Structure 1
Amino acid sequence: MCARAADPARTKPTERVPAAANPVMRALPAAGTRPALTRGPRPFPVRRVRQAFGVGRLLLAGLGVAALLGYFDYVLGFATFQIYNFYSYFTVQSGMAAVVAFVAGAIVAFRHTVDPPWLDWFRLLVTTYITVSGIVFLTIVIQSSNRDYTIEVPWSSQLLHFWIPAIALLDWLTDAGKARLPWKILAWGLVVPSIWGVFTLIRGSIVGWYPYFFLDPVQVSGPLETAVYCLVALTLFTAIAAVLTATSRLPQWMWRRGSTAE
C-alpha cells in the first residue's frame, strides 16, 4: 500500500496574526471605546419656507386689492364723494404701496433665500405706514363716541386698517431673510408722511376738505392742536420704524440656526 501524503493544510494549525501587528486593526478603536452614532437635527428647509412666504405675500397682495376695491365701492355711495378725495387718504396711498411691496417680496422670496437691502427698506417703510394708519384709525373710531358721531367700519376698512397691517407685521417679524438695516432709515421714514401732511394741509385750506378731522383746524381747537396731532403722528411713525429696524438687526444665528438652502 502506498502511504498517503499528509495534507499540510489539514495538519498544520491556522496561524492568526496578532491585532497589534495588523495596521488596519490598530487603526480601529476597540469595540467598547467606539463612539455611538447620533442623528443630528434635520436641517431647516429655507427654500421651502421662502416659497411659502412668497405664496403668503401673493395672497396678501390679493387681499389688499380686494380691500381697496371694496373700500372704493363703499365711499362711492357717499353724497359728498369725490374721486380725488379718495386717493388723498393716507390709508389708501399706503395700502396701494403695500400691494406693490407684497408682490415684490413674493417674487424675491421665490427666487432668493435672502432679501436685497432695497426691498427691506421698502417693506419696512410700507409696514410702518400701514401700521400707523391702523393705529390712527382705531384712535379716531374710539374718539368718535366722545364727539357725538359714529364711524362705520365696513369689511374693507377692517382689512385695510387692522388685518393687513397685522399680517404684514407678522410677515416682517418671522422673515429670516431680511437684511440688517441701518438706523438712518428712521429719518427717511418721515419723508413721505411729512410731504403728505404739508400737501394735505395746503390742499385742505384751498378746497375746504381734510381726510382726517385732526387736520382740520375748524374741527379741533385750532392750528395748535392740529400741530400737536401731527407731532404725535410723526413720533408714532418713528417708534414703529425703530422697532422694525431693531428686529432686522438681531443676530442672524437666532433666525438661521440649523437651516440650509434646499
Structure 2
Amino acid sequence: MLSYFTIISNLAVALSLTLALGWPSTKLGRYAASPASQTAVALYIVVVALVYNTVLRGLLLLAGWSWLADTLLHVVVPVLYVGYWLWFTPRRTLRWAQLGAWLVFPAAYLGYSLLRGPVAQWYPYPFLNVSTLGYAQVLRNSGVVLACFLLVGSGLIALNRALPLRYFNKQL
C-alpha cells in the first residue's frame, strides 16, 4: 500500500496534523505547522484528488467499505485539509522559491515507482505502467502530472499571498 502516492499523501496529512496539533512546541511540531510544510502537504493531497477524480475514478467498481475508503482518501480528506490550510496557514508567508523544494518528494516518488516497477513487475498507477505504455508515454504522462503540481503549487502560493491578512487567519 505504501507504493501509492495517495496513501503516502494521506499519511502526510495525518502526520502533519498530529505533530502540529499534538506537539506544537516540539521541533517537529513547529516544522509540521510551518506554512511551507502545510502547503506542501496541501499540494500533494490536492494533486491526489485531481489525478484520481479526473483520470482514475471509475477504473475499479467499488462498493461498501471499499467505496467509503476510496471516497475518504480521494475526496473528503483533500477537501478537509484544504479547509484547514485556508483557515490556519498564516497569510503572505510563502515564497515562490519554495515550490521547487515541494517538487522533490513527487520527483523521488516517480523515480522510485519507475525503478521498482520492472523489478516488481507492477506499477501503482496505469499511467506509470512502462511495460504497457513505454517510457515515452509514461514521461509524457509524468509531464502532465508535473504541470498539475506546478499549477496547484503556484495557485496555493498566489492565494496565500493575495488573501487579506485577516481572511481565515487563525493561529494554532
- TM-score using structure 2 length: 0.81
Tell me whether 178-187 or 164-173 shows the greater mean CA deviation. 178-187
After TM superposition, give the deviation of residue 107 of structure 1 in Å: 4.3
Post-superposition CA distance 1:76-103 (Å, at most 9, x none): xxxxxxxxxx111111111111101112
Task: List per-residue Cα deviations over 1:55-84 (Å, max 9, x = no partner).
Answer: xxxxxxxxxxxxxxxxxxxxxxxxxxxxxx
Match of 1:236 in 2: 148
Q: 2:35 aligns with which of 101, 117, 120?
A: 120
User: What does residue 92 of structure 1 align with?
Assistant: 7
SS, match of residue 209 in structure 1: coil
Q: Which amino acid aligns with 2:49?
A: G
2: distance between equivalents of 1:211 and 1:102?
Answer: 26
Residue 131 (str. 1) matches residue 43 (str. 2): no
Residue 69 of structure 2 corresponds to residue 161 of structure 1? no
- Report the CA distance shift for 1:92/1:253 in structure 2 as closer, same or farther (over 3 A): closer
State the secondary structure of the residue aligned to 2:47.
Answer: helix
Give the Cα–Cα distance (whole angstroms) in 2 for the partners of residues 97 and 116 of structure 1.
13
- Report the Cα offset of residue 139 of structure 1: 2.4
* Whole-angstrom distance in 2 between the partners of 1:167 and 1:138: 16
Amino acid across the alignment from 1:182: R
Please point out which of 218, 227, 234 is paired with 2:131.
218
Kindly provide the amino acid, as one letter, of the partner of residue 167 in structure 1.
L
Q: When the two structures are superposed, what TM-score results if normalisation uses the length of structure 1?
A: 0.55
| 2:158 aligned partner | 246
CA contact (8 A) 2:88 2:168 kept: no
Change in CA separation of 1:251 and 1:166 when aligned onto 2, cut-off 3 Å = closer
Q: Which residue of 1 aligns with 2:95?
A: 182
CA contact (8 A) 1:214 1:226 kept: yes
Q: Distance in 2 between matches of 1:178 and 1:109?
A: 19
Say which structure is richer in helix.
Answer: 2
How far has the Cα of 1:124 moved from its partner?
0.6
Unaligned runs of 5+ in 1: 1-85, 145-149
Superposed CA deviations along residues 94-139 of structure 1, whole A, max 9, x for unmatched, are: 11111011123324789xxxx8796211111111111111111112
Q: Return the alpha-carbon distance in structure 2 between the equivalents of residues 235 and 103 of structure 1.
A: 30
**In structure 2, what is the equivalent of residue 101 of structure 1?**
16
**What is the aligned length?**
164
Equivalent residue, structure 2, for 1:191 = 104
Cα drift, residue 140 of structure 1: 3.1
**Correspondence list, 1:25-64, <5 A:** none
Q: Which of 1 and 2 has greater Rg? A: 1
1:232 alignment partner AA: V
- What is the percentage of aligned positions where both structures have the same residue? 24
Alpha-carbon separation, structure 1, partners of 2:94 and 2:138: 32
Any unmatched runs of 5+ in structure 2? none
- 1:176–1:255 Cα contact (<8 Å) kept: no
2:116 and 2:43 map into 1 onto residues whose CA distance is: 25
CA RMSD of aligned residues (A): 2.9
Q: Deviations over 1:8-47 (max 9, x none)?
A: xxxxxxxxxxxxxxxxxxxxxxxxxxxxxxxxxxxxxxxx
